[in-house]
Amino acid sequence: MRKYQHDAVQSDYKIMAIDDDLGILDSLKIVLGRNGLRVDTFQNPVEAIDRLKDEHYDLLLLDFIMDEMNGNQVVQNIRIFDKNLYILLLTGHKDLAPPLQTLKELDIQGYCEKSDNLDQLVLLVESALKSVDQMRIINQINEELAEKNAELEQAYLDTVKILRQTVEAKDPYTRGHSDRVSAFAVLLGRKLGLSENDLETLRVGGLFHDIGKIGIPDNVLTKDDRLTENEFSQIKEHPTIGAHILGNAKVFQDIIPIVKHHHERYDGHGYPSNLVGEDIPYLVRIVTVVDTFDAMTSNRSYRKALSLDTVKKEIQKCKGTQFDPVIAQTFLDIIDSDEVKEIQEQFKYSE
């Protein structure tokens, strides 16, 4: 019988054996022990499952036919909380082995017949531990890649934040606008009962919805007079420009619809895609309302902020045309709230 060669890392492996035959368990401990491997043994499968819930094991040697619980039942219980444990099934005879389909469904990596000569089992254990080694390496590589991707995404996020700040620096009248839109969108999303994931998309989407204005000439963006048809056409390009800026970063995929479509209208007369009604993504419809609200209640180069009463009448009038009527009404229900006033005060622009 060959000596297992991984002496330097043997202590890293945790092996468990479950069998209602104490003699088999003793034999496994002796044979694998001679090959430098320690095995924790259990006659009671319920106790073994409880141990697996509390401790990590790399390999499970499992008897298929047991009085208290069959091997397939044990595996079904284990796979609920551990999808990665490497499992070798032990059978008294090949005719008693489970069907191949069952092995696949339960993700059992192999099985071995019991016999007085355990050489085959030792070979399978060695092979299993090599697979465990490979999975460790793969997991480590994946973790390192995830860390690198997170660093790259954060760097991209920081870059886009700088671009957003540059947009607001170009037009001081819109400073704080994206922060307020972000906060209003989250507030409205909560009132509409959205999930935390959706609220986070609203938060980030609100922050970056106008990022495309970085591509609009300053003299158009800050003009204090009525825009010409050509100038307005340039302004209408900013959603598409913004979507293009964010399009290559995975971290921004969920917010691109907000960036690209926040100027769509419920009646289909918006831009850039003339989307109608529920063809406009739900989160976009939320941002559209609060974006317009903040624009109307803020000072701009071409006009002073409108009164709250005027703004409420305008939103009421535009339900079903510019805005989703249900979302617009929900915002009207909270428009006088302290929460809205607190957001306006928190992100108030001052010279």
Residues 193, 327 contacting (CB under 8 angstroms): no
Please tell me the distance from the alpha carbon of residue 65 to that of residue 90, in angstroms, as a whole number.
9
CA 110 to chain centre: 33
Please tell me the distance from the alpha carbon of residue 257 to that of residue 246, in angstroms, as a whole number.
11
Please tell me the distance from the alpha carbon of residue 316 to that of residue 323, in angstroms, as a whole number.
9
Can you read off the two tokens belonging to residue 239? 């959603």
Please tell me the distance from the alpha carbon of residue 34 to that of residue 57, in angstroms, as a whole number.
20
Q: Which of 14, 53, 104, 213 is catalytic?
A: 213
**Angle, vertex CA 253, rays to CA 327 and CA 239, nearest 5:** 65
Please tell me the distance from the alpha carbon of residue 253 to that of residue 204, in angstroms, as a whole number.
11
Greatest extent of the chain over all pairs of C-alpha atoms, in Å:
95
DSSP for 36-88? T--EEEES-HHHHHHHHHHS--SEEEEES--SSS-HHHHHHHHHHH-S--EEE
Is there a catalytic annotation at residue 213? Answer: yes
Please tell me the distance from the alpha carbon of residue 230 to that of residue 222, in angstroms, as a whole number.
15
Q: Where are the extended beta strands (E) located within the chain? A: 15-18, 39-42, 59-63, 86-91, 110-113
Please tell me the distance from the alpha carbon of residue 52 to that of residue 296, in angstroms, as a whole number.
60
Backbone angles phi, psi at 201, to 5 degrees: -65, -40
User: Which of the residues are catalytic?
Assistant: 213
